[in-house]
Structure formats: structure tokens, C-alpha cells
Structure 1
Amino acid sequence: MAKIKTIRDVEVRDKRVLVRVDFNVPLDENGKVSDNTRIISALPSITYLLDAGAKVILASHLGRPKGQMNPEFSLKPAAEELAVQLDKPVQFAEDCVGPDVEAAVNFLQLGSVLLLENVRFYSEETSNGREFARQLGALADVYVNDAFGTAHRAHASTAGITEFVDTCVCGFLIERELAFLGEKTSDPVRPFTVILGGAKVSEKINVIDRLLEKADTLLIGGAMAYTFALANGIRVGDSLSEPDKIQVAREALKKAKEKQVRFLLPVDTVITNSLDFGSRSVGGIEVIEGDIPDGWEGVDIGPKTTELYRQVVAESGTVLWNGPMGVFEIDDCAKGTFAVADAVGANQNAISIIGGGDSVKAIKSSGNAEKVSFISTGGGASLNFLEGKELPGVTALDTIDS
């Protein structure tokens, strides 16, 4: 992949710079931002541009308003939180295109910031409408994509806009995402250990296939471990599994053997005879090795597996983690996930990469967020990139040789 130009590579002084950020943040019952992680992640690019004397225009989506103006999905709370983080005023536009927005951009002072209203208030955003993309492009001399979480979508504000702006580069957040998920997994410090969890083999099989070309060890947890158990002839009781993917699992195990990659599956499992996710409760809990009886389901890796995985992580030079080891939202089923999080955080000699999704929640909840090398802001984008798929929001940008 050709190296993408960043904001360091272009002149931004006195320019209108439109930055696609990911301010798709949760709001509390009072309409205030309840988790500002994504806003914090965008600050390095924003402050760089402000210090460089640019007019900074920010575009983002929030939620799924389905192409309708809906105050519930307004970005105004994000503007208020950004103002707190920047310690300076942030102007807010009540729309994202049109004459009023163009006027607001024209009146914007150098070194000032304007946040546009939710781009998904227009259905043309997600359909990549050409006219909508042109209107967004008319607001900018330079376009910056720093929203990795939406880079796998060919939307108007992530891809279509680049047709209408001459200079299109990435921000520091996307630069770091590409470096850690790309370069540091393509040429890793060894041993390279990949920890994969989550519910479905079908959702991760392409990632598994790709990483079997690079990894030294794969550690499998979560419900997808039960599909691999079925592939090995082990009964899984009422555990969440994909019987129709048994052959896919067998092929992955075969490839691992051919590539001489250690493919470790749980040797013991925490099981329950009753799981109520709504009330976050379970019935009886046991630890079992081998077959899981009918009427019981696996909800976490067991203590022997936890210790085995901990030892592997401790000896690793690079660790990539995507997906929990069990139903970590319930305390009785969370020990394996949090033990893995502790193990990743404890290995300060390794490059540790948290590949988006629920792993991010786990690493933060366990208090290990500050101990790892990198936490990806992408969910689907992270998986797509690890699979080797092109990300439209990245491939649309200028490259060093272009």
C-alpha cells in the first residue's frame, strides 16, 4: 500500500481545512457527552491545524438519524465538549451544507474551529450522493480524513468529497491506525501473538486466515471457540456456536498446522445452566474440561486456559487483541477477559495493539488502557483492514508519490 500523505505533508496556513472526524459519541440522559474518547482522539490533528493557522471545519456523524433532521442526534453536545477540551470557543453550524454554512466558513477566523451539524441528517451522506459531496467539498481547500471508524464506508464525507477537493490527506489518528494495524502486524516484533474472541467464526474467519500468514500463535476465546470445539469433535451443549461453519473452522486449523502456527483453544471452560443477559445474571456456575453437557453453555475461558494464555502473552514481542474471552458484561463470566487484559497490560516489553470493539471496553474497564501501545478507534474498519480489504476512506486520499 502506497504511503498516504498526512497533514504534515501539506501547507495549511490560511486554508479552509475540512476534517472528517468521528464524533459518534454516546450521550447521557441530559444530552451531554458521556464518553469523550473519540473527541480526545481527534485533538492532536485539530490542535496541529489550529496552531498552523488554518480555518478548521469539522464534519462528523452521530448515531443513525436515517437521513432526517433529528435533534436527538445533534452534534451540538460534541461541540460543547470539544470547547472544553480545546479550552477555546467552538462555533457550531446548524447545518452541514448550504448558504448559511458557507457564510459561517467564510467568516471563520484563522486558528478557529467550526463544527458542522450531523452529516447523516442527509440520506445522500450514506448513499455517497455526488451533489452532497460537492457541497461539502465547496467548504474546503484541504480535506483531511481522521475518522478511522468510518473509513471502511464509501460515504460522501469519507470518499465522495475527495473528487471535489484538490488536496486530500489523513490526520494523525488514521496515520497511527495504519501504522499499528498495518506496519506493526505485517513486520512484527516476534513472537507475534494474536488473541481473537467474540461470538462468530464467520465474522472473524477472514481475519484468522490473513493473520495465519503472519502470527506465531493464535489464542482463541469467546463463543467462536465452541465452533472450533465442534470441529474437533467436542460437544458444546447449549453454547452459542455455528454448526454450519465447522468445515471453515477445520480448514483454519489445517492451515495453522501447515503454517506451523500454534492455534490454542480453551482447555477448560466456565459453564452455566442459565444465562439472562438482560438482567446480567447467571444460574449455576461450573468449570469443565472436554464435553459440555446439554442444558449448559460456555460463558468464559476457565482458569487453566487463562494461565496458559497469560504465559503466551508474557513471552510475546507483539500482541494483537480483538474480541472478549467470554460474556464479560456479566461479572461471573468476565474473569478470563480481564485476566487477558491484565496480561497484555503487564507485558511492557511488547508492542500491544487493541483492535477495536469490545476489547477496547475490556482494556479500559480493567484499568490497562494506559499500559498498552495502541487502542484502535475502529470496529468494522479495524477488522476490514486486518482482513486486507481496502478502506475507501483511505484509498481516496493522496499518496506520497501522487
Structure 2
Amino acid sequence: MGGPTDDGGDTKATATDAPSLANRHAELVEELLAGSHRALARVITLIEDRSTGYRAIVSALHEHTGGADVIGVTGSPGAGKSTLVDKLAAAYRDRGDTVGVVAVDPSSPYTGGAVLGDRIRMGSNVGDMDVFFRSMSARGQLGGLSMATADAVKALDAFGKDVVIIETVGAGQNEVDVVRTADTVAVLVQPGSGDDIQTLKAGILEIGDVFVVNKADMDGAERTLAELEEMVHRRESPTKGLDTGHHGFDAPDPPDHGEHDGSEGAGAGADEGAGADESAGASEAAEEAAAWTPEVRRTVANTGEGVEGLIETFDAHARHLRESGEIEATQRRRYAEEIRTLVRSDVGALATAEIDRRGGIDALADAVRRRETDPYSVAAAIVDPIADCVEPSDG
């Protein structure tokens, strides 16, 4: 029951493709690993088009990944993401890093391809072979990221790029998809963006490791900075500032043990309580040391102001991930989500092929409409053969 995968492109790949490299693709992988930009571009094209054999290519590249710092830059349209990414790439190059940029453009309603507007706004690094730029279509995926984007990041990582920057479409709360691909997430907000701040309150706040007020030379920048600082403060300590006491509302004042000089019971209780408080305090301190508090930065992308400081914050977050061990948990979550996505896609492709084999979805819907069957029975007839293949037999 193999069929075309539902990966959002004109694809010849099938859900049952084994990750076995064809000779021509094996050569392509070797060339990419050897540093051929032409091979890198061809591999990303195969990935974006979801062409036959692309899975085997990505599988072969996987063991060579893990060396790049992957940074996601997201935010509402008009926040200056493309200009800032351009300046970030230039600054990274100035310090000797190689850079890959994947700009996820809105899809064209006519061709499904990327609009390519970002390429126009990223002119500082034209001609620099150590900055590889690729504009990709969002292909209607929520959050502006498709599986192709994640695979393209792997190709850039395996190629040896020190830093990979993903710029995503601003699409409200669905922007959380970027978290599944990036190690560090920067959320851009422009001054005076009351609506943007409200959107952050609605959920985007949760994904940001760094918040950036871009165009900070505009009116309203200081107010926006203050609002973001307050939001981060509340995110980290939701009850901070409330008079709740250590144990909750209206907690009584602790007794003054100094007034009971000869009391053994009081002394023992005090020592025991102090020890418990000390232990709890140490545990809380260790937890706080291991946690990352999102930073709020200001930039003026047009002039490059604040870009160096922003990169320092990205570096600090990367160090935090490594030193705290959080990078392992981050990668585990990312790969778990990727496996789920691939399995859902492949099972969906098998089900789609079975629907086609049974005459197509319209024919099945008509049979339901005529009361010859019902939706649950149709679904069971399609899914049961797949379930039989994966369920263990009684024997």
C-alpha cells in the first residue's frame, strides 16, 4: 500500500522508501562533506522537493551533525527579521565563523514556492562563499516551518557551518514550531507594537530564549523594552511581588527564637527548621543557577547597533545549554517530535494510498451519504490492514 508521501511538494518518494543511498546520491553526500557548495545546494534542492532518495541522503548526513549552533529568529512581519539576520551573518563572519541561513518565506498561492522577498533584504553578504543563503517555502506548514527546513538545517550542519540561522514567517502562536529545530530562539518585537505584546502574552512568550526590540531608535522603544522586561519577570516568577509569604497567603510571622534562651525544644526545632530551610534554599539556588532567564536586547538592524551584544547573548545561551546538560534534553525533545511527525506522515501516506485503491475519497463519501456505510466503518476498513501489520500476532 505504498504511495506518495504528503510532504507538500511534487514528490516521487514513497512512504516505504528504505534509507539506502543510490550511487549518485552517495557521491553527492561525499562531495557535500568534502566542502562542495554546489553539492550542498543540490542536496537542499532534493530535500525541499522531497525527491526520490532524499531520506537516504538525510540519514547519511545525520551522523555528521551536531556541530552547529542553530538559532531561530522569529517575530511578526515588519519587525525587521531579514535585515537583522543579514547583519548577524556579517558579524559572525567578522569573527571567523561560517554561516548558513534558511529563510522560510510565505508560500506563493500560485506555485507553492517561496516569494523570495528575504533575498532582497540580505545583501551584505553577497559574494561571500562562507555565507550560504537559502530561501524556502513554508508550504503551508503551521509556524512557517516544514520538515524540509529541519532537513536543510541538518545538511548545513553536516557541511560544517558553525552557525545556522533560521528566519521564520511571523504566524502568531504557531511560531512555536521553530523550537523543534533551533537551539536558541530569538523573538523580535518592534517598538509600539501593542498587538505584538498581546500576542506574546497569548503564548509566544514561552518559546523565546532572547527577546529583541528591533528598530530601537523609533519612538516607543523604551516602553516596549519595559513591557518585555516585565513579561519575562512574570514568566520567571509569576508570584514575585505578591505578599504571599513563604508558605502562601497570610503566612504568620516566624517566632522570635531569641526570646527563649534556655528552651531545648525550641532550640532543636529551630536547628531542624533552619537545616530544612537551608537545604531547600540550596536546592532552589541550584535550580536557579541551572535555569536560563530570557534576556531582552535592543538592536537597530539598519545600522548594526546592538548586533554584537545580541551575538554575545546567543553565545551565553549556547554555553548554558552545554554546561547545564540541557542540550541533551532539548535534542531528545526535538528528535522525539521529528519521529512522531515522520511516522504520522508515513502512516497518512499509506492511508491515502488505500483510500485511492478503494475508489477515492469522493466515492467513499458518497457511499456514506447514501447510508450504505458510515465514516467509522470506512476508517476502520482503511486503518485495520495497517494495524494488522504492526500489531504482534498471538502466536
Please indicate, yes or no, whether the TM-score normalized by the shorter chain is above 0.5: no
Q: Which has the larger radius of gyration?
A: 2
User: Normalised by the size of structure 2, how large is the TM-score?
Assistant: 0.29
Q: Identify the structure with the greater helix proportion.
A: 2
